[in-house]
Amino acid sequence: MDGPDTRVESKLTSPTLKEKGYACMVVEKLGILMARDVKGLVLESCIVLEVWDVLGVLIVNGLVEHTCTSNLINKLINKCKSDLIVLCVKHLPDLQAYDLMCILKYFLLMPDDGYKSLVSLREDWESQALLAIEKASGEGVSTKDRSLAKEAALLVMVAHDGFSVSELCLHYLFATPNLDEVIFSACVSKLNGEEINALIQYLGKWLKKYERFPQVGPCPKASSVLGLTVCDWIPTLETVVKCLGVVVDEHFSSLVLHSEFHELRSLEGVVSSLAAEARLCGALANLTETLRIESQGMD
């Protein structure tokens, strides 16, 4: 028979205690076999017990049921788990307008506690930026892919430099296929003045970046060919222009009447400059005219 010491040693060396990621590995390998009710219970337990690594595995592996999505988003926002909210944006295919609106409001005015979980996200962007520089210099890249590496390196640099960590989170939101023009319009209509101001500043940064680097564009092959996964999550100029147009349309009267929004005047020149490059002429021309009319209303 095993003595007391043997039984204690057996417990201490069991995989659950010995291997830090054992629970994550089990969920990753066997989660697809779990019944819907079981998935819901595991999800709820992870939130209550704050087992965030296992919850992350559930999200990444598509094990969150549609009926649980809104409740999950709400609880993650309440607990300021910004990193897991980003995972939801990246991996949950059925985020609804209300979910996206809550996420948008959260990232625009992120609470102080929300930054604590974003250290790994900032580090990931920095490592991807360094990787992009290495690829652009030709390290481990064939002659055929060198041009792609240089384009991708410039895109990552533009998306990383000058943006706060909360704005890096917004990159994912504005690049997700869940956020179309109709849904974004519904989200913007629910924003308050401070949130609108933060949103205009964010979109304005993008416009100025695209004006300064007109050669920058999407690099859809950079992720699979070069391992630069963040390239899949960088808003395009088309997206930025459309979103700023929606903001102006939805809040035209407020933007005209309130002085805190007068920085839109500077964006009029940026948009006009971009239109002169003959990229997205129709959308840019419309936005330029709207900003011109708005600027007149501010005078």
Residues in contact with 71: Cβ distance below 8 Å, sequence separation at least 6, in sequence order: none
Residue 189 lies in a domain: yes
CA dihedral (93, 96, 97, 103) in degrees, to 10, reads -70
CA 140 to chain centre: 29
The CA distances from residue 161 to 136, 156, 165, 206, in Å, are: 17, 8, 10, 11
pLDDT at 251: 72
What is d(CA 297, CA 253) in angstroms, rounded to the nearest whole number? 9
Q: 151 is written with which tokens?
A: 């384009």
| CA distance linking residue 284 with residue 274, whole number of Å | 7
Task: Determine the pLDDT at residue 7.
Answer: 44
Q: Which of 42, 70, 94 is the last residue of a domain?
A: 94
Same domain for 61 and 18: yes
168 and 277 housed in the same domain: yes
In the structure encoding, which two tokens stand for residue 163, read together? 């943006």
Q: For the CA atoms of 73, 76, 82, 84, what is the dihedral angle to 10 degrees? A: -70
The pLDDT tens digits of the residues spanning 3-18 come to: 544 443 443 334 443 4
- 82: amino acid identity, one letter: S
1 occurs within a structural domain: no
CA distance 6 to 24: 27
Residues 81, 124 within the same domain: no
- Report CA 252 to chain centroid distance, whole Å: 26
State how far the Cα of 287 lies from the Cα of 283, in Å rounded to an integer: 6
How far is CA 7 from each of CA 15, 19, 147, 276, rounded to the nearest angstrom? 15, 18, 61, 77
In this prediction, residue 23 has a pLDDT band, given cuts at 50, 70 and 90, of confident
Q: Same domain for 66 and 194?
A: no
CA-CA distance, 264 to 234, in Å (whole number)? Answer: 23
pLDDT computed for residue 8 by the predictor: 38
Residues 61 and 208 in one domain: no
pLDDT over 90, % of the chain: 61
| 83 closest CA partner among 109, 49, 60 | 60
Domain of 62 in residue numbering reads as 12-94
Q: What angle do CA 81, 241, 152 make, to 5 degrees?
A: 70
Phi-psi region of 138 (alpha: psi -120 to 50; beta: other; left: phi over 0): left
Same domain, yes or no: 220 and 77: no
Q: How many CB atoms lie within 10 A of CB 37?
A: 9
Tell which wins on pLDDT, 67 or 260: 67
Same domain, 87 and 100: no
**Do the domain assignments include residue 5?**
no
Do residues 82 and 117 share a domain?
Answer: no
Whether residues 88 and 118 fall in one domain:
no
**Domain assignment present for 4:** no
Q: Which tens digits make up the pLDDT trace of 83-99?
A: 999 999 999 988 999 99
pLDDT at 111: 96
Co-location of 154 and 117 in the same domain: yes
Can you give the pLDDT at residue 279? 52
26 assigned to some structural domain: yes
- Which of 58, 74, 94 corresponds to the end of one domain? 94
pLDDT at 22: 82
pLDDT score at 15: 44
pLDDT digit string, tens, across residues 249-286: 877 656 655 555 556 666 766 766 666 554 555 566 66
Same domain flag for 174 and 288: yes
Q: Residue 294 domain-assigned?
A: yes
Q: Note the pLDDT tens digit of each residue in 142-151.
A: 888 999 999 9
For residue range 121-144, list pLDDT tens digits in order.
999 999 999 999 999 998 888 888
The helix/strand/coil state of 258 is coil
Q: Are residues 42 and 120 in the same domain?
A: no
Tell me, yes or no, whether 115 lies in a domain. Answer: yes
pTM: 0.84
Whether residue 7 lies inside any domain: the answer is no
pLDDT in the model for residue 91: 96
69 φ, ψ to 5°?
Answer: -60, -55
Does residue 265 contact residue 203 with C-beta atoms inside 8 Å? no
* Tokens describing residue 42: 């595991």
Q: Which two tokens stand for residue 117?
A: 């979980």
Domain count, the chain: 2
Chosen domain end from 94, 118, 150: 94
